[in-house]
Amino acid sequence: MSDSNEPLTAEQLERIERNRQRALQLRASSTKTYQTQTEKKIINPTPTRKQNIDSHAGFFLDEDPKSVDNRPVTYETVPIIHQTKPDQLDTLGMPCNECEMIFLTSYLHKNFAEPICDTCRERYSINDEKDDIDDEKTIRYSLITRTSAKDKYLLTDYDLDKREPLLKCIEKKNPHNQRWGTMRLYLRCQIQRLSDTIHEGKTEEKVLEREEKKIRKQTKKIRKTN
């Protein structure tokens, strides 16, 4: 091992000087590259993409996070209230309660305020004068006379004329004899709902009880005559 106090040779001093010069060159080159990249970023900054803000009024607003007085700009969404006229269909239509298809107008909605399209009315309806069908669900959108409504559903004149909400009906000339005056026709499904409300869903049971009472009365009369 050589003594640390021994002087360096000319070859060692030359090698040290070369290494020092190389290190200085590398440092200068690195500093120049960094400065060039920084200048490029300053000269050509990356453009920021503007976002459009929906004003909900038929146009868009450019994003502007600062106002003139350097305060944040906030946008408040105000709900649009559509005022519809009474007794008038929405221009966008409404869904049918039966098939859920959208329709603009229909016979039952116009005359009875019942949201049922004409297709479903024809499907679940019969001749208005025909009352001898047992399955009431298949004829729920047909019309029924005032007399039949009172007899089959145990309703009174008060129920049909004054009970709230008032039932809608249409008037029609009597097809059997025009001298008998006009008939009042009601929508069967509305009559069914009213009867179920008044009789607590026991309309059929009460009708059967009424028929049994009639039969017993007739039987008693026959026995008395015999």
Whether residues 134 and 179 fall in one domain:
no
More confident residue, 153 or 25: 153
pLDDT at 87: 47
More confident residue, 27 or 119: 119
Mean pLDDT of 52-65: 50
Q: How many domains does the chain have?
A: 2
Give the residue from 84, 105, 139 where a domain finishes.
139
Residue 58 lies in a domain: no
State the pLDDT confidence band at 59, using cuts at 50, 70 and 90. very low
Whether residues 151 and 118 fall in one domain:
no
Instruction: State both tokens at 214.
Output: 């009639």
CA dihedral 62, 65, 71, 77 (to 10 degrees): 60
Residue 211's alpha-carbon distances to 115, 161, 205, 215, in angstroms, are: 35, 26, 10, 6
Residue 49 lies in a domain: no
* CA 155 to chain CA mean position, Å: 36
pLDDT at 58: 47
Asked if residue 152 has pLDDT above 80, the reply is yes
Asked if residue 148 has pLDDT above 80, the reply is yes
**Of 192, 100, 102, which Cα lies nearest the Cα of 141?**
192
Whether residues 165 and 214 fall in one domain:
yes
Whether residues 150 and 210 fall in one domain:
yes
Residue 119 lies in a domain: yes
Whether residues 189 and 158 fall in one domain:
yes
Asked if residue 35 has pLDDT above 70, the reply is no
Residue 67 lies in a domain: no
CB-based contact 147:176 (threshold 8 Å): no
Residue 225 lies in a domain: no
The CA-CA-CA angle for residues 73, 77, 82, to 5°, reads 150
Q: Tell me: the pLDDT tens digits for 17-26?
A: 888 887 777 7
Whether residues 171 and 215 fall in one domain:
yes
Return the top range by mean pLDDT from 86-90, 155-159, 208-212.
155-159
Q: Tell me: the pLDDT tens digits for 108-136?
A: 999 999 999 999 999 998 754 454 455 67
Q: Which domain holds residue 104?
A: 92-139
Give the residue from 77, 104, 139 where a domain finishes.
139
Distance between CA atoms of 161 and 57, rounded to whole angstroms? 48
Whether residues 153 and 210 fall in one domain:
yes
Q: Tell me: the pLDDT tens digits for 64-117?
A: 544 445 555 554 554 544 444 544 445 578 999 999 999 999 999 999 999 999
**Of 193, 168, 172, which Cα lies nearest the Cα of 181?**
172
Residue 193 lies in a domain: yes
Whether residues 178 and 207 fall in one domain:
yes
Whether residues 211 and 157 fall in one domain:
yes
Whether residues 194 and 155 fall in one domain:
yes
CB-based contact 63:53 (threshold 8 Å): yes
Mean pLDDT of 129-158: 82
CB-based contact 188:140 (threshold 8 Å): yes
Q: Which of helix, strand or coil describes residue 121?
A: helix
Whether residues 129 and 159 fall in one domain:
no
- Work out whether strand 102-103 and strand 143-145 pair parallel, antiparallel, or are unpaired: unpaired
Bond into 165 cis (ω within 30): yes
Asked if residue 41 has pLDDT above 70, the reply is no
pLDDT at 11: 80
Phi-psi region of 87 (alpha: psi -120 to 50; beta: other; left: phi over 0): left
Distance between CA atoms of 45 and 38, rounded to whole angstroms? 10
